[in-house]
Amino acid sequence: MPKQLQIESLKRIFKSLNPEVGVDLIDWEAHVDAVLTMPENRLELSIAYPAYRWFADEAEMKDVKNEALQELTDQLDYMITVVPEEAQTQFKEVFDDYLSKIRFSLERKLHFSHLKKQIAALQKQLEQSKEKKGPLPKPPEPPKSPTWTTRLENKLRDVFSASLTREGFSPTKFLPEYRVELEALRTLPTEDEMVRAVEAFAGEIVTREQARKIRPPRLREERPPPERIYRPRPEFREEREGEEWGAPFAAPTYPPRSMSEMPFPRNPAGIELDIIRDRFLYDLMNCGIYSPQNFLPQFEKNFAQVLFKSWDDMRRGYDLLVEQLCKGVEARYPAELRALPYESIEEGVYWLVSQKRFESAEEIAAELHELGTPTTAEEVRRFIRIGYEQKVPNFVIVTREYLEKLLGEPLY
């Protein structure tokens, strides 16, 4: 395909994948080479401009690599037919060497255009030799790898360590992986290519480890309580001042006001919990539960560990918990009364998307409601678009197709 047609096609692909970026930011004339095929130029551009998207996802990038390798294989197969039979074995070794080097460059995201230009020049010489029936061009001898010395080994290790340290990772943890990779690096023909390959390998480790750093917000496991028969709570007699010893037991009272200076939203403070826990045990006994201490885990989970918006919400939450347990129904604090368990709804959306277990924005909105962060499906879609545009870390492990599935429409 002519160079200008390739540029126009590549611009359309770039614009579809980076709608917020102008195509003029790419130096198309300098980086699109007429010697390379369309897939090869696309791969070279992805190496030259790694900050932008050049493929919809990993699967498409793999397909483009395979297409580039297949076209190169076809080209080399054609070239071997131009070579006289007696020289084919010698040229086949050279062609296999080129194919191996380009495959390695694609895997390590290294530039390979210089290798493709050498192949194109050799093809031109072979064709001219066949037309003129002149002497067969001498095949280039594969360049020998530089002598492996302690200086070179230390240099490559320093490059690897420095690349990881700049990104905040300790290189010691990844030295076993580096030593395995070193066997392949030693086969590269030049020292510069070895250095580039080490930097690319370190970059792969950084991307992988950054994706692993994503951690979920802490979620509390819900368990239904044992079934209980509901008995109406009997009236009880409060302690009166001046009553003598032996008078009826004075019921623990729920604190009439906040006993902590911590601002809301917050959990119940320790001094408040001591008093409210006694009242909790008393209230359960009064509704016919004769082993109320068995329900202290429910108290911790559905009251002590809940973020409340205000002191009034805390009291309503307590009354609701006691009522549910006395009726023998599942104790669960209503999501609409909870304070936000995330710093923002946006962070909750990003985390749930990274779990890749939802089919639509509506399902994510329902999950957020259960977690105490009520929102709408349209708000979820808005944050998905923002996260995609800003390339948030949680979206590193999801594909564009999955985001479009949640949105119900394509991303532009």
223: left (phi over 0), alpha (psi -120 to 50) or beta: beta
| pLDDT for res 305 | 78
Rounded to whole angstroms, the Cα distance separating 315 from 257 reads 10
Query: How sure is the predictor about 236, in pLDDT bands with cuts at 50, 70 and 90?
Result: very low
pLDDT of residue 406: 92
List the one residue out of 35, 172, 23, 194 whose CA is nearest residue 105: 194
**Are the beta carbons of 331 and 298 closer than 8 angstroms?**
yes
Mean pLDDT value across residues 331-343: 58
User: Among residues 240, 247, 316, 321, which one has the least CA distance to residue 287?
Assistant: 321
The pLDDT score that the predictor gives to residue 103 is 82
CA distance 397 to 409: 20
Judged by average pLDDT, the poorest of 234-243, 311-320, 352-361, 379-388 is 234-243
pLDDT at 247: 44
Tens digits of residue pLDDT in 27-48 = 999 889 888 888 888 988 888 8
Q: What is the pLDDT of residues 269-288, one digit of tens each?
A: 888 888 999 899 989 888 88
The CA distance from 57 to 152, in Å, is 36
Does pTM surpass 0.85?
Answer: no
Residue pLDDT, tens place only, 78-115? 888 888 777 778 888 888 888 887 887 777 677 778 88
Contact 140, 118 (CB under 8 A): yes
Average pLDDT, the chain: 80
Kindly state the DSSP code that residue 54 receives in the 8-state scheme: -
The sign of the dihedral angle between the CA atoms of 345, 335, 364, 356 is positive
Residues 6+ apart with CB under 8 A from 304: 267, 268, 273
Q: Which tokens belong to 150?
A: 């302690």
pLDDT at residue 276, rounded to an integer: 92
